Amino acid sequence: MADKYWYRVEVSDSGKTVTIKKVERRENDTSDVFFVLAIDEKQAGRKAFNEYMRVAQARRRAKLIAEGKCPWCSRKNDRGSGKRCSICLRSNLGYEARRRARVKGEDIPRPDRAVAVEKRKSADREAIRADVLIEVQRAWTNARTHGQFSQWLADQVEAASGKKVA
């Protein structure tokens, strides 16, 4: 087995490797400098990038959870803070069922990706539609007069489409 050495790898904010330097010992990692044990510079760069991506993903998930979104897909979360949304959960349960069937040696039909994508798009459209209807309902409830609501609606249509409504 080849000898492994410590490498100091500096990574830019965009995840690009800036420098890789062989060092005698490991120090504490920072947000842009990682110390990895590797055979050569190429492997060190790969390991440092993987660590950078783990840190970036943890930051992204923390931000999404704080915003009340699903930490996996960033849709509005319908199950609670920090949990996967129902769409991600359903997908994961399907993956697990196929994995268990594969372990048992059962034949597993390949999932139809086109159908899965269409289901996901449909669920997204339904969620967006529900949000829009809730917004319209709130505007109708908050409007003091029919004219006020009509003006709000005309302003929203103009902002969205760029066309004036008569």
- Cα gap 118→126, rounded to integer Å: 12
Q: Which two tokens stand for residue 43?
A: 């492997």
pLDDT value at position 127? 82
Question: d(Cα 142, Cα 148) in Å, to the nearest integer?
Answer: 9
CB environment 103-114: b (16+ within 10 A), e (fewer):
eeeeeeeeeeee
Distance of CA 31 to the CA centre of its chain: 20
Parallel, antiparallel or unpaired: strands 33-38 and 5-11: antiparallel
- Identify the band that residue 52 occupies on the pLDDT scale cut at 50, 70 and 90: confident
86-110 pLDDT, tens per residue? 888 888 888 888 899 989 998 877 7
Q: Between residues 165 and 149, which one has the greater pLDDT?
A: 149
pTM of the model: 0.54
Q: Mean per-residue pLDDT for 6-14?
A: 83
Rounded distance, CA 154 to CA 37, Å? Answer: 62
